[in-house]
Amino acid sequence: MSAPNPYLDDLSKGIIKENPVFRMLLGMCPVLGVTGYFINGLGMGLAATAVLIASNVVIAALKNFIPPQVRIPCFIVVIATFVTIIEMVLQAFQPVLYEALGVFVPLIVVNCVILGRAEAFASKKPVLRALVDGVGVGLGFTLALGILALVREVAGQGTIMGPDPESAILLFGQGFQPMGLFGQPPGAFIALGLLLGLTNVIFKKFNI
Amino acid sequence: MREVMRLSITLAVVAIVSAALLTGVHNVTEPVIREREQQEYLEALERFFPALDDFETEEINGDQFDLVYDQDGEKLGVMAAVQTQGYEGTITYNLAVDAEAEIIGILVVSHSETPGIGDVITTDNFQEQFIGKSFEDPLEAGEDVDTVSGATISTEAMIGSIRRTVTTIGENFLGKERQAFGLEDLTDGVYRGSVEGTYGDLVVEVEFRDGRIQAIEVIEQNETEAYFMEVYPEIPEKIIEEQELAVDVQSGATLSAERIVAAVRNALEGAPEGEGGDN
């Protein structure tokens, strides 16, 4: 066995071992809120990933400049800046996704995954490792949102790639009556609970 | 002291850099967003008025009205871009009416109503009930259009705003006139009337003597206190002073003001109390 590569470790632990949704249960608000459709879940995950990577890098780069007493306000300003940039860019170039994500885009500011990584990792580590950590955790978050959204969309709508009727694929034919509950907020809790149980079983089995 | 300075300066620097960055990005994205909004507005215009050839923009009270003409310069109708206060924020929508002041289309452009509750205002189910209604219709919640239970405030805001917009369009651009309420034929007496409000009925008593409305008293009301204070007793005083029901209700409490007027109208449409006849 070669010596463990810290970058590879940073990358993989965000996706599996410390998956923000399945293992740490952080940032649950968008997880439950925008996972009605796969596209929306994916879009939210990628938007949060972009903010996470950018804020991780900037905070790691500024860690010697920011005094510890005011680090939280500084982190929040940095995160809010990137969120607002993402919001404006989405509104300009991805209006459909922007409409679908609605209030959850500005709410990325208070997503505790991002502040959590800033506080626990980026503010203590070199820039490059913070970048890799951002990518890893972001991918883990996106993956979790994607899986949950896929489950909810298939069960709740009977489609994938909706809600745009042009791209939506009807999985079970026209006569299929989907379980509307899974499209609603309570269904998000139920689907998330089932997925958490499933991932716990899998993690236990493979001793992760 | 120096420590405090250092902390403040750090925060200020972070904030200034952030503001500069945001300004830069805003300057890049703003024109793109504006252009797309305009594009969407034009598309909506063409959808509602397929024969559109030319239009002319006017502004009344901050809302935008587009008078649409066809090839021969014939007026096809008016499309309004209106903003109104919803439950959680501003609702922006387009309302298209034809030359007869009949509603032909509603398009909610942006809103921040509660997902899954207040956002019914964007659904066809809610919007379809307005199609075909015109300037002559009351456009009142519970009369010819319905609120959606659970989303009363959002839907009532839309209904009220649509009614006002249709009235504005009809009176300003299409030469329509609301029929004045005839006070001449009323007999003396005290009239009682009520309307349904968001949280309960609003009941008024109107005293009519010698061909004039003498007094208006609100017997019962369940309005939001701050809003009601803003229009009472101002609106009743205005009605008495002008001796007519079509008083201006420009205030931040439009719904409460309109309810008072509607209750007075409801009272005067019935028979005076004590003289029999009212059910």
Chain Cα centroid distance, residue B61: 12
Give the closest residue to A78 by CA, choosing from A108, A101, A99, A102.
A108
pLDDT tens-digit map of A138-151: 999 999 999 999 99
Residue A58 has pLDDT above 90, yes or no: yes
pLDDT at B123: 85
CA A30 to each of CA A87, A114, A128, B247: distance values in angstroms, whole numbers, following the listed order: 15, 13, 28, 47
Domain count, chain B: 2
In this structure, are B105 and B220 located in the same domain? no
For the CA atoms of chain B, what is the radius of gyration?
A: 24
- Supply the ipTM of this predicted assembly: 0.78
pLDDT tens-digit map of B181-222: 667 777 888 888 888 877 888 888 888 888 788 888 888 888
Distance CA A184, CA A40 (A): 14
- Give the residue from chain A lying closest to B15, CA to CA: A77
Please say whether the beta carbons of B108 and B122 come within 8 A.
yes
**A contact set with B (CB within 8 A):** 33, 62, 65-67, 69-70, 73-74, 77-78, 80-81, 84-85, 88-89, 91-93, 95, 102-103, 184-185
Give the domain extent around B230.
189-269
Q: Do B36 and A78 touch (CB under 8 A)?
A: no
Range from A93-102, A132-141, B35-44, B121-130 that averages highest in pLDDT:
A132-141
In this structure, are B70 and B146 located in the same domain? yes
Q: Do A81 and B22 touch (CB under 8 A)?
A: yes
Distance from CA of B86 to the nearest CA of A (A): 16
Q: Please name the residue ranges forming H helices in A118-169.
A: 127-156
Is B133 within a domain? yes
Is B82 within a domain? yes
Is B182 within a domain? no
CATH of the domain at B234: 3.90.1010.20
In this structure, are B151 and B193 located in the same domain? no
Residue B179 has φ and ψ, to the nearest 5°, of: -70, 125
For the CA atoms of chain A, what is the radius of gyration?
A: 18
List Cβ neighbours of A138 (8 Å cut-off, separation of 6 or more): A14, A45, A46, A48, A49, A50, A52, A53
Is B89 within a domain? yes
- Give the residue from chain A lying closest to B11, CA to CA: A74
Is B193 within a domain? yes
Q: Does B26 touch chain A (CB under 8 A)?
A: yes
Give the closest residue to A114 by CA, choosing from A51, A41, A59.
A51
Please say whether the beta carbons of A49 and A113 come within 8 A.
no
Q: Do A67 and B7 touch (CB under 8 A)?
A: yes
In this structure, are B164 and B238 located in the same domain? no
Is B99 within a domain? yes
Distance from CA of B29 to the nearest CA of A (A): 6
Half-sphere exposure of A91 (CA within 13 A, CB side): 22
Prediction pTM value: 0.66
pLDDT at B274: 55
